[in-house]
């Protein structure tokens, strides 16, 4: 099982080596909330993001590489910027929440963090200093990882704010973990630079299948591995000796996230294996033959492994509830589109029955607002989201206010239609186009939120000018109508009110799009 306390040395050494240029970090680069961000901490976060980006591409220019981020293709530069901001927001959120709950690192944790920092500094100080990172910043960054680990216990431990019982954790582990014995057959020797060809790889995979068969036929994993390893290692230019068996056979505990890197096929095979079942899977540069044991239980976890399991459990719950939030927002957005369309059609056709369908839908929008607000509050209180997740929830709370107002304004249009006289042809066309534009803005703004698509949000904001132009055209047409026939002044004012409601709907859609930008970037145009 992965240890969640950051092992900074290897990751950062890679990043620093890759970046390599001389930098001088300022004392601070600003604040997030009330937390000062030291320049060195910023550099560490950036280099970690660079290392992550570099691991995802074979291109020489990491900054220009095309990378996948949350289902979207972005440049390496954009990926690094987003991941750096996410890391810093997490650092700030952890620091803030840790202090709010009265947290304090133990003497043992302080000693461990200092020792870890000293050892890392001894190995990589030249690289750190070259890149503007001092030892104090490294210590701060390291201590933050201990705070994040402690925070899990403070929130979800037996005496935490939202305690998770052993029964709850065991039930989660039954679906999202695996424990057993595994034998690794290497398909490369990176230390010696030995990378066998396709024929040799095929032989190693065949050896893994034979090892699996031998275990299924009654051999112990150790005995079967001892038969397979000599031939496999010889293909890599290494001679097998009896004392080497322990390097390749051992006990494993996996959480679902530990297997994400290897893909869904490997993940399903490992997590789905029943006690005693043997499976052979390709894991990176090795073939693993895994014999599943009983599922882990909360009582059998070490303190560190329990924290790792809690982190994954609460992360999964957060993902599920965020998905629910997205569904609810889509449904609310669809209701908004429908009420605008009904009100517009009622206006242009003079169908009073259509207008009467709007108020019940407006009430449904009001109910959705309350439901989504309650869901957001539960997420904030129970899940303690950080970084981008926190921004999404905060943005959703702002968005539903605008969506509720859209429903109200569609209802206002429908109310006017109920006693309105016939609509003149010129206004009919303009108001229909205006309504269609407003509906498109509402639809795209919600879609932008769900997809976290800043470009689409910007298109919505730009499209507000189109709705405003239609409003001016309607206004001028109505002025001419009044000038030609003052007796039509009452009807003209009603139509102007309707146009103004549609213009306001466009403004609310623009507000939603601006909150989408905030949820992705952390910057709001009005803030």
Lowest mean pLDDT among 77-86, 143-152, 155-164, 264-273: 155-164
Cα distances from 420 to residues 350, 410, 425, 488, in angstroms, run: 8, 15, 14, 12
Which CATH number do you get for residue 215? 3.10.50
Q: Is the pLDDT of residue 422 over 70?
A: no
Domain boundary among the residues 115, 145, 163 is at 163
Cα distances from 204 to residues 416, 492, 501, in angstroms, run: 77, 82, 70
Q: Is 339:362 a contact under the CB 8 Å cutoff?
A: yes
432 inside domain: yes
pTM equals 0.49
Any idea what DSSP says for residue 296? P
Q: Is 181:290 a contact under the CB 8 Å cutoff?
A: yes
CA distance 283 to 182: 12
Residues 232, 83, single domain; the answer is no
Q: Is the pLDDT of residue 401 over 60?
A: yes
Task: Give the residue-averaged pLDDT of 202-228.
Answer: 94
Question: Nearest CA to 142 among 5, 311, 305, 38?
Answer: 5
Residues 208, 328, single domain; the answer is no
CA distance 211 to 366: 62
Residues 383, 441, single domain; the answer is yes
Across the chain, mean pLDDT equals 80
Domain that holds residue 28: 8-163
Helical H runs in 350-382? 352-356, 358-378
Residues 88, 220, single domain; the answer is no
What is the full DSSP assignment across 155-214?
HHSTTSSS---HHHHHHHHHHHEEEEEEEEEES-BTTTTB---HHHHHHHHHHHHHHHHH
Domain boundary among the residues 133, 163, 193 is at 163
Say how many domains are in the chain: 3
Element holding 72 (H helix, E strand): strand 72-75
Residues 195, 277, single domain; the answer is yes
271 inside domain: yes
382 inside domain: yes
Residues 460, 368, single domain; the answer is yes
What are the strands, taking DSSP E only, across 273-423?
278-283, 286-292
Pairwise pLDDT comparison (523 vs 139), residue with the higher score:
139
Task: Give the residue-averaged pLDDT of 151-158.
Answer: 76
Task: Give the residue-averaged pLDDT of 413-422.
Answer: 81
406 inside domain: yes
Residues 404, 510, single domain; the answer is yes
Pairwise pLDDT comparison (367 vs 83), residue with the higher score:
367
Q: Is the pLDDT of residue 290 over 90?
A: yes
Which CATH number do you get for residue 322? 1.20.58.220
Task: Give the residue-averaged pLDDT of 85-103.
Answer: 78
325 inside domain: yes
346 inside domain: yes
Residues 472, 375, single domain; the answer is yes
Q: Is 76:52 a contact under the CB 8 Å cutoff?
A: no
3-state class (DSSP) for residue 47? helix
Tokens of 313: 């459990």
What's the confidence (pLDDT) of residue 78?
A: 84
Residues 229, 316, single domain; the answer is no
Contacts of 452 by beta carbon, 8 Å cutoff, 6+ apart: 70, 72, 392, 516, 519, 520
What's the confidence (pLDDT) of residue 70?
A: 60
454 inside domain: yes
Q: Is 201:316 a contact under the CB 8 Å cutoff?
A: no
Cα distances from 414 to residues 69, 207, 426, 490, 504, in angstroms, run: 43, 74, 20, 17, 15
* Dihedral sign of CA atoms 31, 36, 40, 41 in order: negative
Task: Give the residue-averaged pLDDT of 65-85.
Answer: 80
Domain boundary among the residues 102, 130, 163 is at 163
3-state class (DSSP) for residue 430? helix
Cα distances from 19 to residues 47, 62, 127, 208, 227, in angstroms, run: 8, 10, 10, 39, 45
Residues 511, 487, single domain; the answer is yes
526 inside domain: no
Residues 206, 327, single domain; the answer is no
Contacts of 302 by beta carbon, 8 Å cutoff, 6+ apart: none
Residues 424-482: tens digit of each pLDDT: 555 577 888 888 898 888 888 888 877 778 888 899 999 899 999 989 988 888 888 78
Residues 77, 207, single domain; the answer is no
Q: Is the pLDDT of residue 373 over 90?
A: no
């Amino acid at each position: 099982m992965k240890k969640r306390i950051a092992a900074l040395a290897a990751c950062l050494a890679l990043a620093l080596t890759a970046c390599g240029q001389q930098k001088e970090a300022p004392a601070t680069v600003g604040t997030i909330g009330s937390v000062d961000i030291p320049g060195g901490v910023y550099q560490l976060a950036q280099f970690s993001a660079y290392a992550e980006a570099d691991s995802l591409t074979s291109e020489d220019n990491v900054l220009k590489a095309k990378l996948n981020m949350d289902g979207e293709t972005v440049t390496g530069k954009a990926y690094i910027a987003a991941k750096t901001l996410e890391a810093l927001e997490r650092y700030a959120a952890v620091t803030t929440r840790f202090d709010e709950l009265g947290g304090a690192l133990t003497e043992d944790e302080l000693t461990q963090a200092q020792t870890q920092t000293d050892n890392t500094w001894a190995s990589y100080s030249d690289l750190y200093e070259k890149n503007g990172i001092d030892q104090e910043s490294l210590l701060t960054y390291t201590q933050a990882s201990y705070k994040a680990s402690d925070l899990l216990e403070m929130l979800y431990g037996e005496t935490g704010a939202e305690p998770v019982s052993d029964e709850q954790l065991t039930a989660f582990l039954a679906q999202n973990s695996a424990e057993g014995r595994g034998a690794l057959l290497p398909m490369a020797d990176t230390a010696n630079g030995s990378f066998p060809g396709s024929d040799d790889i095929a032989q190693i995979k065949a050896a893994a299948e034979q090892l699996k068969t031998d275990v299924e036929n009654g051999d112990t994993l150790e005995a079967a591995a001892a038969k397979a390893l000599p031939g496999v290692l010889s293909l890599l230019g290494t001679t097998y000796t009896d004392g080497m068996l322990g390097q390749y056979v051992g006990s494993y505990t996996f959480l679902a996230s530990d297997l994400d890197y290897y893909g869904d096929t490997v993940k399903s095979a490992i997590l789905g294996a029943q006690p005693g079942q043997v499976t052979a899977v390709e894991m990176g540069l090795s073939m693993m033959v895994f014999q599943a044991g009983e599922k882990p239980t909360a009582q059998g976890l070490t303190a560190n492994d329990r924290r790792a399991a809690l982190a994954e459990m609460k992360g999964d719950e957060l993902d599920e509830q965020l998905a629910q939030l997205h569904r609810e927002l889509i449904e609310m957005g669809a209701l908004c589109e429908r009420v605008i369309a009904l009100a517009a059609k009622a206006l242009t056709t003079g169908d009073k029955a259509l207008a009467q369908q709007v108020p019940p839908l407006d009430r449904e929008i009001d109910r959705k607002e309350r439901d989504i607000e309650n869901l957001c509050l539960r997420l904030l209180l129970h899940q303690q989201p950080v970084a981008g997740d926190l921004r999404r929830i905060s943005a959703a709370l702002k968005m539903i206010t605008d969506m509720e107002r859209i429903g109200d304004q569609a209802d206002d249009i429908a109310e006017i239609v109920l006693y309105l006289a016939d609509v003149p042809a010129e206004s009919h066309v303009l108001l229909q186009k205006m309504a269609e534009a407003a509906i498109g803005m509402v639809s795209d703004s919600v879609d932008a939120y769900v997809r976290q698509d800043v470009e689409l949000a910007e298109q919505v904001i730009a499209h507000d000018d189109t709705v405003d132009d239609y409003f001016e055209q309607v206004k001028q047409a109505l002025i001419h109508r009044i000038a030609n026939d003052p007796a039509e002044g009452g009807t003209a004012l009603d139509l102007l009110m309707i146009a103004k409601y549609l213009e306001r709907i466009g403004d609310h859609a623009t507000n939603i799009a601006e909150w989408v930008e905030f949820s992705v970037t952390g910057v709001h145009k009005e803030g």
